[in-house]
Amino acid sequence: MSTNAVVVEGTELTISCKDDETLLNAALRQGIGFPYECNSGGCGSCYFDLLEGEMADLWPQAPGLSERSRSRGRRLACQSIPNGSCKIKARLSEEYVPKIRPQRSIARLTKIVTLTHDMKQFSLETEFPADFLAGQFALLRFPGLESWRAYSMSNNRNDQHLWEFIIKRVPNGKGTGLLFDVMKVGDTLTLDGPYGLAYLRTDAPRDIVCVGGGSGLSPMMAIVRAAAAEPALRDRAITMFYGGRAPRDLAANDLFNADPALKARVKLVCAVSDDAAADAAHWQGERGFIHEVLMRHLQGSFTANEYYFCGPPPMTNALQNLLVQEQKVPLQQLHFDRFF
């Protein structure tokens, strides 16, 4: 397999890209701090300017870049594969140097567990130990599909090579369509990871609040599991808020009930946003959007916590507005992933 050299202007760095990997993944694999968030074309954090050479654009319509930015020659590193030697202008930062460098492996599907009407847990076994931080994600590529899908792990690092994902079916989604309807135990796909910056900070001197919506449950489960088992956090309170439209969308209660130690250590608050669905199911728990429920529960103690959250942009945007704009929580106390 051939490689292409990408020189970063103003630095002494050269990124060596294989002909089947993106500029972003190649940089992170080599320990280079290339800014990013979603690694799937949605956030726009990994933008750069192509000064010399040519690159293939895997997703020309990726929402992470405006038409104005495109017209100026700006690209997304997560959607760009060099065609030969190139030169780029990019803003690199030590903040993005990966603590664990991502690897690529064939992964075998070993177990499938149904959690709700549209959510399942999938277990994959890779060729190398499952080394990742609680809250990170991996990229999966399914047989017959060229593009990668990003999914967060729900378990913690282990030597059994086991990666677990809680995944929600996307209507008409090609990736989840294969996972839910076609693939079976024993089948294989490709896994690339870990990625992501919204991982558990074990050195933060504050209580822990996790917030999840939909399949944002997956990384939040990883974080509360790791936090509950971390000796350095034994004096920290851990609270997890989880929301869905209807009671049938909520999987967290069953996962907690299956783990008595976790249930005893972590306070779980589940909420339903659709009153009609709640009434029909005789729901006795919290109602409202999850950021509203969070506000009712925390009241005046907002700045005393470290926050981790994952879900669709409306949820993450509402939480950022509540915490940063209204409650004046320092931005460095927020760690989140947005689904696009």
pLDDT tens digits for range 114-148 = 999 999 999 999 999 999 999 999 999 999 998 89
pLDDT tops 90 at residue 2: no
When pLDDT is averaged across residues 216-243 and rounded to a whole number, the result is: 97
pLDDT at position 338 = 67
pLDDT at position 339 = 64
| All residues at 6 or more sequence positions from 37 whose CB lies less than 8 Å from its CB, including other chains | 43, 45, 46, 197, 337, 338
- Which residue type does 236 have? R
Closest listed residue to residue 310, CA positions, set 192, 175, 166: 166
pLDDT tops 70 at residue 340: no
What is the tens place of the pLDDT at every residue in 14-66? Answer: 999 999 999 999 999 999 999 999 999 999 999 999 999 999 999 999 999 99
Alpha carbon of residue 188 to chain centroid: 22
Instruction: Provide, rounded to the nearest whole percent, the portion of the chain with pLDDT above 90.
Output: 93
Q: Average model confidence (pLDDT) for the chain?
A: 95
Q: Are 174 and 140 in contact (CB under 8 A)?
A: no
Closest listed residue to residue 311, CA positions, set 224, 212, 167, 191: 212
Q: Are 1 and 19 in contact (CB under 8 A)?
A: yes
> End-to-end alpha-carbon separation of the chain, Å?
32
pLDDT at position 313 = 82
When pLDDT is averaged across residues 103-117 and rounded to a whole number, the result is: 98
Query: Can you list the domains of the chain with their CATH numbers?
Result: 3-96 (3.10.20.30), 103-195 (2.40.30.10), 207-338 (3.40.50.80)
What is the tens place of the pLDDT at every residue in 166-215? Answer: 999 999 999 999 999 999 999 999 999 999 999 999 999 999 999 999 88
pTM here is 0.95
pLDDT tops 90 at residue 295: yes
171, with CB counted inside 10 A (0-12, 13-18, 19+), is exposed
How far are the Cα atoms of 60, 269, 333 from residue 203, in angstroms, in the given order?
Answer: 40, 25, 12
What order of strands is seen across the sheet that includes strand 305-311? 286-287, 267-272, 238-244, 207-213, 305-311, 334-338
